Amino acid sequence: MSSEKRSRMLREVVFVDGVRTPFGKAGPKGIYAETRADDLVVRCIRELLRRNPALPPERVDEGAIAATTQIGDQWLTIGRTAALLAGLPKSVPGFAIDRMCAGAMTAVTTTASGIAFGAYDVAIAGGVEHMGHHPMGEGVDPNPRFLSEKIVDPSALVMGSTAENLHDRFPHLTKERCDAFALASQQKYAKAVANGRIGPELVPVATRSAEQGYGLATVDEPPRPNTTLDGLATLKTPFRPHGHVTAGNAAGLNDGATGCLLAAEDVARELGLTIGMRLVGFGFAGVEPEVMGVGPIPSTDKALASTGLSIEDIGLFELNEAFAVQVLAFLDHYGIADDDGRVNPWGGAIAVGHPLASSGVRLMTQLSRQFAERPEVRYGLTAMCIGIGMGGTVIWENPNWEGVSE
């Protein structure tokens, strides 16, 4: 065997297309109460292939699907089983990923790394969470050492409590600021729907109900367009008496799935696939689990450092709104105003919902579609906090950039 090292050239990776199901409310009255989680993913995979007929199915080299609660209809190596159920050739492998809320984001960065290295040409990445069938923490058996050895504070295992801890750490992030941010999210989302900006990426899903029969999910169920500041002020604070976090300034419990196509840029051009955006770099970081909401700050610092960019280079931000307070902590850290027009211009998870492992690709799909409308913007960023004390950030380049100053 030769002892000479083989040199490799990393390839450019592009986001071709992204889709998602309408997001539903978790629970017995939600639109997906009697719909399987894996069938939601199957709809996304089939829709990606339908919308991109230039891609021969046999050219898909990998399928990575994330789920936080890998049990029941979200189990059994869902990246492989969903690919088979979607009709992809049996030669297409697949795997499952769990990084809690950043599952789909990690599905993208993992398969994109394989594409850059040359292991794959084309991959499908996405995520699903059916919180109605599988509430967060179902079947979990935390090691007692976490508490007995004080590795984490008990609040670290309750995401809403970690958000209350952020309010303790940053008292200037008041409930009033969070409620105002939440109201803006609802308003921006409603405007985006009315203007046709949210909708084209949605995959209609056939649903069934033992009581109501069959239906078709075509729009998101969680948004509350009639939200008011006065109404938000009256909501209960379930994680702490006289607290700050409410159902109005946090994402809800939701069901939904996402999927996207990734490819080497040269392969995308060879096949005639759309180039929605180009991967620049990414970073993941750990923080104290008790304040997991600050996670996107060090992960963004990592991503910026590895790409040689600064926060001033970022022209669009898609930040997952798990809680308003964690988004505001990010914005304050970087000196960005609460109402900066670059941030979540079409609203966020407070309005549309956050089906845990699926949300990362929702952020990317929206950013890609915003890039198409904004050729003056060169770089965009998708970021999210992650349970058990982490953050994830992915930086993208707009292929439509005209070279003008931002």
Active site (catalytic) residues: 101, 354, 385
What are the φ/ψ torsions at residue 313 (nearest 5 degrees)?
-80, -15
What are the φ/ψ torsions at residue 309 (nearest 5 degrees)?
-100, 165
Structure tokens at 364: 């990317």
Beta strand residue intervals within 193-276, DSSP E: 205-209, 213-217, 254-264
Strand pairing partners for 89?
none
Q: How far apart are CA 100 and CA 26, in angstroms?
A: 17
∠ CA 105-109-115, nearest 5°, is 145
Q: How far apart are CA 114 and CA 348, in angstroms?
A: 30
Q: How far apart are CA 355 and CA 357, in angstroms?
A: 6
Alpha helices per DSSP H over 118-261 = 145-148, 159-169, 175-194, 229-233
- Per-residue burial over 39-58, b = 16 or more CB atoms within 10 Å of its CB, e = otherwise: bbbbbbbbbbbebbeebeee
- Per-residue burial over 247-272, b = 16 or more CB atoms within 10 Å of its CB, e = otherwise: bbbbbbbbbbbbbbbbbbbebbeebe
Three-state DSSP at 284 gives strand
Q: How far apart are CA 123 and CA 374, in angstroms?
A: 26
Q: How far apart are CA 127 and CA 129, in angstroms?
A: 7
